[in-house]
Amino acid sequence: MRTAARTLVLFTLAACTGPESPWKAPPTQAVDLVMSVSAARVGLLEPFVVQLDLWRRDGVEVDFAPAVEAKDFRAETKRAPDVALPGGTWRRTTLVLRPVRGPAEIVLPPFTAKSKDGAAVATTPETKITVVTALEGKGAAIEAPGEPFPTPSHASRWLVAGVAAAVLAAAGVWWWRRRPRQARHAEEVAVPPHVKALRALARLRDVPRASPAQVEAFYVEVSNVLRTYLEERFGLRAPERTTEEFLRELEGGEQLAREHRAELERFLSQCDLVKFAAFVPGEGEHLAVHALALAFVESTRPDRSSTAAAPQAVHA
């Protein structure tokens, strides 16, 4: 969240004051290219900025169209107008990149600017970007729990059956003697919210995502699973609220949930893009969003948290 805020500040300052030249004096070569990267270690789907400044001497025409692999990054490109510098002009191109796979070390390839006659070439070095996830360093593997009541082995079935018959007989006698005074009601076994969420996410990981309709259904279901978990775990009325309304309510909720506000905002914003903006991401982004949901449930489940907080009442 802090990185996204810094990115917004950079854009705002650039719009108000114009870009500052990276050269103290005009370059001596016909074409020059300077690159700066805002961060070498970022979170999954967390934005970072690559700034490319291109110089060309007067009369030199240059081909320059920087791009990155869609399987590695989602990219937004902003090109500033040309700025005069003695002997030529320079222009700033800003790429806002969001890694869509991780944890991984992704190589940002060299960017190349070349004069149209091929006589002048400028290239940036390749850069390694380390992509981390919300669970890095916490030591807990992401896995869905097993069934709460596993089937007994074949060798112990007769013993279990005998014990069960004896218990049922004793319960029947007890009920017969007490039935005039007290009615018996079946009790439901309460399944913890994180168990239900992890089972649902495990089922959704391998559902078909070949068509736009299947992709939208996947994002709707993953979003509903996490929103239901937030309501049952923290008492937040997430299912019936928009992303903006929910994030405002989150500010007054439990500290454990507030600590993960950035991950929740990235997750819900990605789901909203698919549901309301007809955005169709690639398979890498599907898995990244699924991993964010798993990471949030795993890092907030009460049996692994420092405190198992009870849901708070929510006031309208």
**What pLDDT score was predicted for residue 36?**
94
Give the 3-state secondary structure of residue 194. Answer: helix
Asked if residue 185 is part of any domain, the answer here is no
From 132, 148, 168, the end of a domain falls on: 132
Q: Is residue 293 domain-shared with residue 210, that is, in the same domain? A: yes
Rg, C-alpha atoms of the chain: 28
247-260 residue pLDDT tens: 777 777 777 677 77
From 132, 148, 177, the end of a domain falls on: 132
| Closest C-alpha to 47, from 5, 78, 11 | 5
Asked if residue 311 is part of any domain, the answer here is no
The string of DSSP letters for 15-61 reads HHH-PPPS-SS--SSSEEEEEEES-SEEETT--EEEEEEEEEETT--
Asked if residue 287 is part of any domain, the answer here is yes
88-134 residue pLDDT tens: 999 999 999 999 887 889 999 999 999 999 899 999 999 999 999 77
pLDDT at 296 over 50: yes
Range scoring the smallest mean pLDDT among 83-97, 207-221, 267-281: 267-281
Q: Is residue 125 domain-shared with residue 201, that is, in the same domain? A: no
Q: Is residue 14 domain-shared with residue 116, that is, in the same domain? A: yes
Asked if residue 150 is part of any domain, the answer here is no
- Percentage of the chain surpassing pLDDT 90? 32
Overall average pLDDT of the 198-215 stretch: 89
From 132, 147, 163, the end of a domain falls on: 132
Q: Is residue 126 domain-shared with residue 217, that is, in the same domain? A: no
Asked if residue 276 is part of any domain, the answer here is yes
Q: Is residue 121 domain-shared with residue 30, that is, in the same domain? A: yes
Structurally, how many domains does the chain consist of?
2
Asked if residue 14 is part of any domain, the answer here is yes
pLDDT at 8 over 50: no
Q: Is residue 127 domain-shared with residue 217, that is, in the same domain? A: no
**What pLDDT score was predicted for residue 15?**
42
pTM higher than the cut 0.75:
no
Other C-beta atoms closer than 10 Å to the C-beta of 22 total 14
Q: Is residue 6 domain-shared with residue 128, that is, in the same domain? A: yes
Overall average pLDDT of the 273-277 stretch: 77
Distance from C-alpha of 95 to C-alpha of 35, rounded to nearest angstrom:
11
Asked if residue 184 is part of any domain, the answer here is no
In the DSSP assignment, the letter for residue 156 is G
* Structure tokens that stand for 176 in this block: 């017969």
Bond before 22 cis per omega within 30 degrees: no
Instruction: Determine the structural domain holding residue 255 and report its residue range.
Output: 193-300
Asked if residue 34 is part of any domain, the answer here is yes
Q: Is residue 122 domain-shared with residue 9, that is, in the same domain? A: yes
Q: Is residue 219 domain-shared with residue 123, that is, in the same domain? A: no
Q: Is residue 211 domain-shared with residue 111, that is, in the same domain? A: no
Q: Is residue 34 domain-shared with residue 109, that is, in the same domain? A: yes
125-171 residue pLDDT tens: 999 999 997 766 554 444 445 555 555 565 567 777 778 888 888 88
Phi then psi for residue 88, to 5 deg, are 180, -160
**What pLDDT score was predicted for residue 14?**
42
| Closest C-alpha to 290, from 99, 96, 47, 101 | 101
Overall average pLDDT of the 224-237 stretch: 84
Range scoring the smallest mean pLDDT among 52-61, 121-130, 270-279, 295-304: 270-279
Q: Is residue 231 domain-shared with residue 123, that is, in the same domain? A: no
The answer to whether the CB of 302 falls within 8 A of the CB of 308 is yes
**For the domain that residue 105 is a member of, what is the CATH number?**
2.60.40.10
Distance from C-alpha of 141 to C-alpha of 43, rounded to nearest angstrom:
18
